[in-house]
Amino acid sequence: MSASMRKGQLQLLHVLFAQAFSPALCEFLPVFLLVWGWLIGLTAGPGDFYMPMLFAAYSPLDAFLTLILLKTYRRRFLALFAMCLGLQKNCRSGRLHMIDSHFTVPSSIDA
């Protein structure tokens, strides 16, 4: 196996491990606290809005982990973020151009 293939496989392994443990944070922990929290003095009241928020955060967290842990996705995201802030006029691939704060695909590139 080549070095680049091995590096890519290790990145995927790290992403899969992170995605395997994200349900523990967003789904299992709130349910555990709801069911067993009374043993340690935690009770769920009407003001405890963190549980639905943690349940709702599972899908974005999963996507965010993929975006941050894969190097090519992370670089592209940071390049697009820099373009949105106006720090960089064109991205490396040259496929997106910033015109009047809107991103457009040049007509020479077929979709």
Instruction: Write out pLDDT tens, residues 67-109.
Output: 888 888 888 888 888 888 877 665 555 555 444 444 444 455 4
**C-beta of residue 12 within 8 angstroms of C-beta of residue 71:** no
- Give the β-pairing of 102-104 and 97-99: antiparallel
Q: What angle do CA 35, 40, 43 make, to 5 degrees?
A: 55
* Residues 9-60 pLDDT 10s: 999 999 999 989 888 888 888 888 778 877 887 776 665 777 788 888 888 8
Q: Indicate the DSSP class of residue 28.
A: I
CB atoms within 10 A of CB 108: 6
Give the DSSP H or E segment for 102. strand 102-104
pLDDT attached to residue 92: 53
Q: Which of 73, 111, 82, 80 is nearest to 96 (CA)?
A: 80
- pTM here? 0.59
| Domain assignments of the chain as residue spans, ordered by start | 3-104
